[in-house]
């Protein structure tokens, strides 16, 4: 007998028929002799619909009330799924996030988990119940309801799996695993049998939407075995774990892209110590995350530098920069949208020269200029104009041998990545 945590996203429980399919799948797992904890998201587009309704009342709804509102979506899901499971003859008990023991910091809309006290979950399991837990939500020490942000149900599932020492955490989605890139752009994208925590974390942070980055971080830290698989079939999924066996000749495991990118350039800043600290310190105080930073050459004692933020933070970042102009004079500030960040990820990159050079060459052959570059041991990212995204992703996928099992990458001494 094994202990499973099974997480089902909004598309998996999008209507009553899908809810019943999930119930049958969970009951089937229990009848195989396993204990089951199920984490579910709100049905379909429920969360988006609730947000839209709130914005009809206020352009900026209070964060506390938004958390109160949005957690109702998951509560509907857990009640309906528990009813569906019981209709099949199995015992089931539903719990909200706080009833399941999730305690969080006092941040509405994007709270982090501080503690999990899963005694009620464990007691229900001992009584032979399937436990159904609402994802995405918890409660502060002052009994305030909080949410974990987009993708928070993944984090709920992984954190709960760690807390109850589950044997495996299965993440059920509308795709049957992790692919080498988005199959909607590259139909011949390959499903990966396994991927390392580090590679998956990079892909998740770089735009791959199958798993939430915070969930992958939690899984890595607590060594939770993750399996990503489809809720619509019984195909084997992708295992996310500490170490994986590298496929012969494949250096790059996956290609991700992120359209949520804006570039801001500050021109004519005095080239003196403390400038970057002032700019990025002010942005940090405003809770604005900065991604890629590039400084150009110095001329006449002045420098230009650019950085990227999310599209939603673009105007806020511009306001912050305008607010510090009296302390930090500059000549001009510009911003760009219609950009995309394309990234290659692979644990094998660290020991193969020329991977980044090949990426630059492939993008160049598509007639696309690279605006910014960022690298780490296992990834290289390029910011480009979004117009030729599909062509660039397809070309990279072919260049790194991901269309087939054949070796396509040829390393060279010119650049070591």
181-222 per-position pLDDT tens digit: 998 899 999 999 999 999 999 998 888 878 888 999 999 999
User: Looking at residues 346-359, what average pLDDT do you find?
Assistant: 88
Res 297 pLDDT > 80: no
Res 50 pLDDT > 50: yes
- β partners of residue 8: 40, 172
User: Looking at residues 263-272, what average pLDDT do you find?
Assistant: 90
Res 417 pLDDT > 70: no
Mean pLDDT of the chain: 91
Q: Can you give the pLDDT at residue 415?
A: 30
**Beta carbons within 8 Å of 25's beta carbon, 6+ residues apart:** 6, 231
pLDDT one-digit tens code per residue, 145-169: 999 987 899 999 999 999 999 999 9
- Comparing CA positions, the residue from 251, 259, 260 lying closest to residue 185 is 259
Q: Does residue 103 contact residue 114 with C-beta atoms inside 8 Å?
A: yes
Q: Does residue 39 contact residue 153 with C-beta atoms inside 8 Å?
A: yes
Question: H or E stretch including 3?
Answer: strand 3-8
Residue with tokens 């429980």: 13
Task: Give the C-alpha separation, 177 to 238, whole Å.
Answer: 5
The long-range contacts involving 307-312, CB below 8 angstroms and separated by at least 24 positions, are 307/263, 307/264, 307/280, 308/261, 308/262, 308/263, 308/264, 308/339, 308/341, 308/372, 308/383, 309/262, 309/264, 309/283, 310/260, 310/261, 310/262, 311/260, 311/261, 311/262, 311/337, 312/260
Question: Is residue 329 very low, low, confident or very high in pLDDT (cuts 50, 70, 90)?
Answer: confident
The long-range contacts involving 110-117, CB below 8 angstroms and separated by at least 24 positions, are 110/147, 110/148, 110/149, 111/138, 111/140, 111/146, 111/147, 111/148, 111/149, 112/148, 112/214, 113/138, 113/148, 113/155, 113/159, 116/159, 116/160, 116/163
**Which pair of structure tokens corresponds to residue 153?**
């149900």
Neighbours of 391 (CB within 10 A): 15
**Which pair of structure tokens corresponds to residue 141?**
């020490």
Question: Is residue 349 very low, low, confident or very high in pLDDT (cuts 50, 70, 90)?
Answer: confident
Res 414 pLDDT > 50: no
User: Looking at residues 279-298, what average pLDDT do you find?
Assistant: 90
Task: Give the C-alpha separation, 403 to 410, whole Å.
Answer: 16
Res 412 pLDDT > 50: no
Q: Can you give the pLDDT at residue 248?
A: 55
Write phi, then psi, for 275 (nearest 5 degrees).
-65, -55
Edge-first strand order for the sheet with 293-299 is 293-299, 302-309, 262-270, 332-336
pLDDT one-digit tens code per residue, 221-245: 999 999 999 988 888 999 999 877 6
Q: What percent of the chain has pLDDT over 70?
A: 95
Q: Can you give the pLDDT at residue 407?
A: 42
* Range with the largest mean pLDDT of 63-67, 176-180, 287-291: 63-67
Diameter over CA atoms, the chain: 79
Q: Can you give the pLDDT at residue 246?
A: 63
* Residues making up the chain, counted from first to last: 417
Task: Give the C-alpha separation, 412 to 83, whole Å.
Answer: 60
- Comparing CA positions, the residue from 23, 18, 6, 15 lying closest to residue 87 is 23
Q: What percent of the chain has pLDDT over 90?
A: 76
Delineate the domains of the chain, giving CATH numbers in brackets: 3-174 (3.40.1160.10), 262-336 (3.30.70.260)
Edge-first strand order for the sheet with 254-258 is 254-258, 339-345, 379-385, 372-376
Q: Can you give the pLDDT at residue 66?
A: 96
Neighbours of 273 (CB within 10 A): 6
Task: Give the C-alpha separation, 287 to 312, whole Å.
Answer: 12
Task: Give the C-alpha separation, 175 to 231, whole Å.
Answer: 8
Res 410 pLDDT > 50: no
Question: Is residue 406 very low, low, confident or very high in pLDDT (cuts 50, 70, 90)?
Answer: very low
Question: H or E stretch including 36?
Answer: strand 35-40
pTM: 0.84
């Amino acid at each position: 007998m094994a202990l499973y945590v099974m997480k089902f996203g909004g598309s998996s429980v999008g209507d009553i028929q899908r809810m019943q399919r999930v119930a049958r799948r969970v009951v089937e797992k229990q009848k195989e002799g396993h204990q089951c904890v199920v984490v579910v998201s709100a049905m379909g587009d429920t969360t988006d619909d609730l947000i839209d309704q709130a914005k009809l009342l206020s352009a900026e709804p209070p964060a506390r009330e938004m958390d109160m509102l949005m957690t109702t979506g998951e509560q509907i899901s857990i009640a309906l799924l528990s009813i569906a499971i019981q209709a099949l003859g199995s015992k089931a008990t539903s719990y909200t996030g706080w009833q399941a023991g999730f305690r969080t910091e006092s941040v509405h809309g994007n709270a982090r988990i501080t503690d999990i006290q899963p005694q009620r979950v464990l007691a229900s399991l001992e009584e032979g119940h399937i436990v159904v837990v609402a994802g995405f939500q918890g409660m502060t020490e002052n009994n305030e309801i909080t949410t974990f942000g987009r993708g928070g149900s993944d984090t709920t599932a992984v954190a709960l799996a760690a807390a109850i020492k589950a044997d495996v955490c299965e993440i059920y989605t509308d795709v049957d695993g992790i692919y080498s890139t988005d199959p909607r752009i590259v139909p011949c994208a390959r499903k990966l049998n396994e991927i390392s925590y580090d590679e998956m974390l990079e892909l998740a942070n770089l735009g791959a939407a199958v798993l939430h980055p915070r969930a992958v971080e939690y899984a890595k830290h607590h060594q939770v075995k993750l399996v990503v698989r489809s809720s619509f079939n019984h195909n084997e999924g992708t295992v996310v774990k500490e170490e994986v066996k590298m496929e012969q000749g494949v250096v790059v495991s996956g290609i991700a892209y992120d359209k949520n990118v804006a570039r801001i350039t500050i021109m004519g800043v005095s080239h003196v110590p403390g400038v970057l600290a002032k700019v990025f310190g002010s942005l940090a105080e405003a809770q604005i995350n900065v991604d890629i930073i590039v400084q150009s050459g110095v001329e006449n004692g002045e420098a230009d530098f650019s950085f990227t933020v999310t599209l939603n933070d673009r105007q806020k970042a511009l306001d912050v920069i305008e607010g510090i102009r009296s302390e930090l004079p500059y000549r001009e500030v510009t911003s760009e949208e219609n950009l995309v960040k394309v990234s290659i990820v692979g644990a094998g990159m660290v020991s193969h020269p020329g991977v980044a050079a090949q990426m630059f060459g492939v993008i160049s052959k598509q007639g696309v200029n690279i605006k910014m570059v960022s690298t780490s041991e296992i990834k290289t990212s390029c910011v480009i104009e979004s117009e030729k995204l599909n062509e660039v992703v397809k070309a990279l996928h072919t260049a790194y041998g991901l269309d087939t099992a054949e070796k396509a990458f040829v390393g060279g001494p010119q650049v070591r990545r």
